[in-house]
Chain A
Amino acid sequence: MSADARTQILTRIRTALRQNGAVPMPPAALDRRMTAPPTAPLPAMEDDRVSRFIAKADANGIAVDHIASLQMLVPALARLLSETGLKADISVAPALADLDWPKDWQINFAAGRREEHLSVTFAAAGIAETGSLVFRSGAGSPATLNFLPDIHVIVLRTGDIAAYPEEVWDRFRAEGQGWPRAMNVIASPSRTADVGGIVVRPAHGPKAVHLFLLGSD
């Protein structure tokens, strides 16, 4: 049945386009458009990308800190845990498993759990235009860790901040690793305004997002 529906729908589309003067793109031009997609006009960006990224992330409610190297992440997390009064029972993306994690911390290096107070994940890119972070799901970075925790801690290399999403897509295309199951672009903590138009944080995802920018540009 559905194979039949496919033929019917595609036939109707072709007939409709032919009869109504649509000009189909020649196959070669269409191939070019697909392999080297054009970029539409972009909003101008006056600041440098790192300052713009930090300003936007901050305005979106993401707390931004700097660490000089990955070795500084564990002490920074220890401070965050003591500030928030959480016990050291956290989830960490396997991509960060090799760090020198304290032996007395309970750490889940796997997918997210039903109750998740804090998780630490590694972003593949930042977008200065909107102050967003881009995650690629994979063995080292389960997507659930980006949505289940109350507090989402993110590590991003400063050098991975792009001006626009189009630059990120270009980078991913060039890296040639194929497309992951999920690319999550995250701009702020989770929120809703569905009850009386009042903004409530969180809705279903994290109530706080804490970003550690790694190294300099």
Chain B
Amino acid sequence: MQIASQQFRERASEALLDPNIRTAFDGLKTGFAAARARSVAALPEFPAMREAARNIRTHTLENLDLYLERYEEAVRAQGGHVHWAEDAEDACRIVRDICRKAGAKIVTKGKSMVSEEIGLNAVLEADGCEVLETDAGEYIVQLAKETPSHIVVPTVHKTVQEISELFYERHRAYGFEERVTEAADLIAQVRAIMREKYFTADVSLTGANFLIAETGSNIIVTNEGNGDLASMLAPVHIVTAGIEKVVPSLNDASALLRMLGRSALGMETTAYTTFMTGPKRAHDLDGPEEYHVVLIDNGRTKMLDGPFREMLRCIRCGACMNHCPVYLSVGGHAYGWVYPGPMGSVLTPMIAGLEEAGDLPNACTLNGRCQQVCPVDIPLPDLLRRLRHERWEAGFVKQTVRWSLGLWAWLATKPRLYRSLTRLGMAVLHKLGGKRGRFRRLPLAGGWTGSRDFPAPQGQTFLDAWSKGAKQP
């Protein structure tokens, strides 16, 4: 996937003017965020469970080499293959070679964020494969040639009307001539198309919510059952997973799954939680003949080596974005890459590079909600602040911003001058504000006055009022 994070400002400004985006993403507050709050409130043990989840992730990361070795051993013992990939290119090549060897024409895919991170679909398509996302939401954005706008609900930005148009245009190829407009009828078409594809696919690809060192399993959670059907019906199953996905045991996975459903959707569990371990056994009646796992680094060992290690605790629930005022206002596409919202603003610079990530670390009000709702307590605001600092140090901050901040810093360290200038500024603005006491328009403050009046200053400066108050007994 092409990275467009450097255009965050422009894309965010456009998004802010789009009423559809505002309505769609606002719905996440009343939907997922509210559901999460209800499910957390109903569970007195939640804080203790959250702490345990955080500790499991920290413990695993501190012993990551050992758990990856144990995991690999367990997969091999069950007849599966483990491949290691340094970066996106390496990972795509490994998957492409497995597909070539299998003579793959049709590849069915369950949802996998890491496959989007490495740009896998484009590579397989260039190699002549038909690659089909089977998750209804991922399928819709794939058909529309768009990208997901949320890591859990990829279609938040799309209206039923738009999906109806899209299907009417594209599903005639499958014999659906009539225009349908109801969600149930639209999904029925997806179900029918995919049913056929599951049985004709040569290779299936899924991600992994977790990998389990104890058993050599990968876990996928879905509500649709698509990843399960894809992986059990194609003769070859390939799992793509970041190296940080491993956990020690089934018990650890269960503890994390309790946090995942509640944090993502406000639900105790998804409809399907599947533990897949190796290929079809000798007496099995179904399942893939081959089972491959591609363990992907792509910047993760770099994160392990330093202050961003905590980010590797992330279990991809999306709670941080559901509670982020910036994400909820501009939507997922403004972020310009696979991972949006607070987690994306940390992951994009870490994986794609500080320069590529542009202004993302600034797309944050530092209100701290993301860390509060994070099921594994990642200090996202601290990490974003650190990235801002690194951007400054690396010289990626624009000259105009550097000069104005320099000027501000100079002024702020001269208390006398600072006070006189602010007093003067206030007096002038007060005068100009006149009887109305507010401004409809103000030079350099169009962002503010675009949607509300700017109040004219009244009374004294803060510092004057403070020192007067301090003198009173």
Contact A194–B229 (Cβ < 8 Å):
no
Contact A192–B63 (Cβ < 8 Å):
no
Is B184 in contact with chain A by the CB < 8 A criterion? yes
User: Given the complex of chains A and B, what is the CA–CA distance between A198 and B59 in angstroms?
Assistant: 39
Is B213 in contact with chain A by the CB < 8 A criterion? yes
Across the interface, A38 reaches (CB within 8 A) one of B61, B251, B284, namely: B251
A195 to chain B: which residues have CB within 8 Å?
Answer: 136, 140, 155, 160, 163, 183, 186-187
With A22-B62, A114-B199 as contacts: A5 and B154 at CB distance below 8 Å: no
| Closest residue of B by beta carbon distance from A116 | B195
Contact A132–B305 (Cβ < 8 Å):
no
User: Given the complex of chains A and B, what is the CA–CA distance between A202 and B225 in angstroms?
Assistant: 9
Is A196 in contact with chain B by the CB < 8 A criterion? yes
With A181-B278, A186-B271, A194-B153 as contacts: A5 and B85 at CB distance below 8 Å: yes
Is B456 in contact with chain A by the CB < 8 A criterion? no
Contact-residue bracket for chain B:
35 or more
A6 to chain B: which residues have CB within 8 Å?
Answer: 84
Contact A200–B275 (Cβ < 8 Å):
no
Number of A-B contacts defined by CB within 8 Å: 266
A residues contacting the other copy or chain, number (CB 8 A): 78
CB distance from A45 to the nearest CB of B (A): 11
Contact A37–B214 (Cβ < 8 Å):
yes
Contact with B along A25-53 (1 / 0, CB 8 A): 10000100110011111111000000000
Contact B285–A110 (Cβ < 8 Å):
yes
Contact B272–A143 (Cβ < 8 Å):
no
Known: A22-B62, A186-B272. 20 other contacts (CB 8 A): A1-B90, A2-B90, A9-B301, A12-B305, A13-B304, A20-B305, A34-B70, A34-B213, A34-B248, A40-B255, A41-B45, A114-B196, A130-B269, A143-B286, A147-B225, A183-B217, A187-B270, A192-B137, A198-B183, A205-B224
List A residues at the B interface (Cβ < 8 Å): 1-3, 5-6, 8-10, 12-17, 19-20, 22-25, 30, 33-34, 37-44, 60, 94, 110-112, 114, 129-130, 132, 137-139, 142-144, 147-148, 164-166, 169, 179-198, 200, 202-206
List B residues at the A interface (Cβ < 8 Å): 27, 31, 43-45, 48-49, 52-53, 56, 59, 61-66, 68-70, 78, 83-86, 90, 94, 134-137, 140, 153-156, 158-160, 163, 183-184, 186-187, 190-191, 194-196, 199, 213-217, 223-226, 228-229, 232-233, 243, 248-252, 254-255, 258, 268-281, 283-287, 295, 297, 301, 304-306, 309
